[in-house]
Copies of this chain bind each other. A is one copy, B any other.
Amino acid sequence: MPENLIPSYTIGIDLGGTNTEFGIVDSQGNILFKDRFPTATPDFESWSDLLSEKLSNAMEGFGLKGKIAGIGIGAPCANTTTGCIEAATDLPWPSPIPLVEILENKLGLPVVIGNDANAAAIGEMIYGSARELQNFIVLTLGTGVGAGIVCDGHLLNGRNGFAGELGHITFDFAADRKCGCGRYGCLQTVASAKGIVETTRRFDFKNPADPDNPDFTAKDVTLAAVHGDETAKRVFDFTGDCLGKALAQYAAFTDPEAIILFGGVANARNLLLNPTIKSFNENALHLYAGKVSINISTLNGADAAILGTAALPYIITK
């Protein structure tokens, strides 16, 4: 977008498997307004109606009608060519969903779609710990696991925008875990929030919270580990060990200088980071071992997703 056309405001929407987060952002990266609701509405129509209503009200309330240049939306399995979500295994509705077309009709604004993890990488690049880096990977550890890969200063897109589906690379450490995609051994069966809960279940967690309870989440495991529960700490040791082995392979693709862990599971911070770094350095090829900085995102999770998606209209052209 030429500099003289940089708009005053864009909207960022992060469509996650659990929550939908959205906000209005000015060109300096200030979030004027943000909100969220659970993604699991009865159908896609209800979701898009609810989102449109909330956004219209906000634009009205802030006097921004006619001042929004575009909408960026981050979603799993986003086909940037067709504007559809294709066969997303982490969303509650049947695919494909012509997301761009439907939202443009409802909101009367140009909409661009990007991989949710790519949006996170852009957020890190513009506002976070990846500023001034040319080679890094942002691994999003949430309901699923995804990645935004920046190599030689370019965000990797691929033929249809499906570059960086690193949650679906399979490993023998997860060979007995079936993924939502139908295959066995995907990293996300271990390193996602669901994966953490499943590991906790397998490790015979004795904490008052019961991992077999449907309300039990990865957050409960983090809390227990922070309070010193040995089993919960072992869950993060195991997860970090697996994650380090996976990242050791991933480094061989793009020779990154940094790998940034992002999303809910990364809130466990050093509990997850320390075993991940140890395992990475033990397993990576000599060209990468000890040479890649692995750290936790310095951006607040929800804000980073909004900032990243709100930046999509600046870098994706239709």
A158, A159, A160, A288: which has the most chain B beta carbons within 10 Å? A159
The chain B residue sitting closest to A157, CB to CB, is B152
Instruction: Answer whether residue A162 sits at the interface, using C-beta atoms and an 8 A cutoff.
Output: yes
A255 near B182: Cβ-Cβ < 8 Å: no
Q: Report the Cα distance A164→B183, complex, angstroms.
A: 25
Q: Which of A14-22, A103-111, A168-176 forms contacts with chain B?
A: A168-176
Q: Report the Cα distance A153→B182, complex, angstroms.
A: 32
Measured CB to CB, the closest approach of chain B to A241, in angstroms, equals 15
Pick from B156, B168, B175: contact of A285, CB under 8 Å = B168
Interface residues of A in 146-160 (CB under 8 A from B): 149, 151-152, 154, 156-160
Q: Which of A218-226, A246-254, A272-280, A299-307 forms contacts with chain B?
A: A246-254
| Residue-wise interface mask of A (222-263) relative to B, using a CB-CB cutoff of 8 A (1 in contact, 0 not) | 000000000000000000000000000110111111000000
Measured CB to CB, the closest approach of chain B to A253, in angstroms, equals 5
- The complex is assembled from copies of this chain, and their number is 2
A152 near B156: Cβ-Cβ < 8 Å: yes
Q: Which 10 A-B pairs rank lowest in CB-CB distance, beginning with the nearest? A: A158-B255, A162-B255, A172-B172, A165-B252, A163-B255, A135-B159, A159-B257, A168-B285, A162-B287, A159-B255
- Taking Cβ atoms with an 8 Å cutoff, the residues of A that contact B are 77, 86-87, 134-135, 149, 151-152, 154, 156-166, 168-170, 172, 175, 181-183, 249-250, 252-257, 283, 285-288
